[in-house]
Amino acid sequence: MNKITKEKAWELLKAYNKDEFHLQHADTVSFVMEYFAEKLGFGDEAEFWGIVGLLHDIDFEMYPDEHCVKMQEILSQNGVDEKIINSAASHGYGLTDVTIKPEHTMEKILFATDELTGLIGAAALMRPSKSTLDMELKSLKKKFKTVSFAAGCSREAIKTGAEMLDWELDYLLEETLKAMQEYEKSN
C-alpha cells in the first residue's frame, strides 16, 4: 500500500525539520495514529497510519504560511504515494488553504489528535512529574477548558474532530491520553 517505509519517512521528515519539538510532535502523532489503528481494528494498516502521522507536518517548520499546501508538493517530489499525501493534507481542512476533507476514519483521527497531542504535551510539561503517566482525564479536561492554556492548540479543531468521528469529546481526550501514556512508556 505505501511506497515509503517508516524509516524513509523519518529520513524525509528530518530533511525538512531540525527543531526537536517538531520531530517529537511528528513521532508522537505517528505513535498515536498507530495506537488508534490497532484499537479500532485497522491493525493491518497501522504502519500506513503511522507514516501519515509522521509526515503530516513535514512543511510546518520551513513553510508555516504554506502549511499542508507545500507538504503536498514536498511529498509528491519525493515519490510518496498519493494516498499518504492526501491523508496527511486533510488534517489542514478548514484550518489552512487545503480543500481535502477528512473522509476515512484515519484522516478524522489525525484531524482530531494533531492539536490534542500538543495540548496533552503542554499539560504534561506543567505537571511536577513533567509526564503524562500520572495525568488523569479530569486534569486534562480542566486544561482543555482553560482557553488561555496552550492557546495555540485549537480546541475547535479537537471538538470538530470528535464530531467527525461521532465520538464524545471525553472519549477522544481519554483515548488520546492513553495513547500518549503508552508512547511515553515505550520511550
Give 86-120 pLDDT, tens digit per residue.
Answer: 999 999 988 888 889 999 999 999 999 999 999 99
Q: What is the mean pLDDT of residues 45-57?
A: 97
Cα–Cα distances (Å) from 80 to 6, 71, 150, in that order, read 12, 11, 33
Please compute the mean of the pLDDT values over residues 1-20 and round it to a whole number. Answer: 90
Q: In this model, does residue 1 exceed pLDDT 60? A: no
Set of cell numbers at residue 144 = 482543555
The answer to whether 52 touches 88, Cβ cutoff 8 Å, is yes
Mean pLDDT along residues 59-66:
95
Confidence of residue 44 (pLDDT cuts 50, 70, 90): very high
User: How does residue 174 score in pLDDT terms, banded at 50, 70 and 90?
Assistant: very high
Task: Give CA–CA dist 31/138, Å, rounded.
Answer: 23
Cα gap 126→176, rounded to integer Å = 18
Residue 95 in grid coordinates: 484550518
Looking at every residue in the chain, the average pLDDT score rounds to: 95
Task: List the one residue out of 27, 21, 22, 18 whose CA is nearest residue 51.
Answer: 27
Q: Say what percent of the chain tops pLDDT 70.
A: 99
Backbone conformation region of residue 96, classed left if phi is above 0, alpha if psi is from -120 to 50, else beta: beta
Instruction: Please give the average per-residue pLDDT across 28-40, as a whole number.
Output: 98
Each as own residue / partner, the long-range contacts of residues 39-47 (CB below 8 Å, 24 or more positions apart, any chain) are 39/175, 40/105, 42/105, 42/106, 45/1, 45/106, 47/2, 47/6
51 near 83, Cβ under 8 Å? no
134 secondary structure, DSSP code: T
Q: Each residue of 111-162: pLDDT tens digit?
A: 999 999 999 999 999 999 999 999 999 999 999 999 999 999 999 999 999 9
User: At 54, which amino acid appears?
Assistant: L
d(CA 107, CA 56): 10
In the prediction, which pLDDT does 3 show? Answer: 78
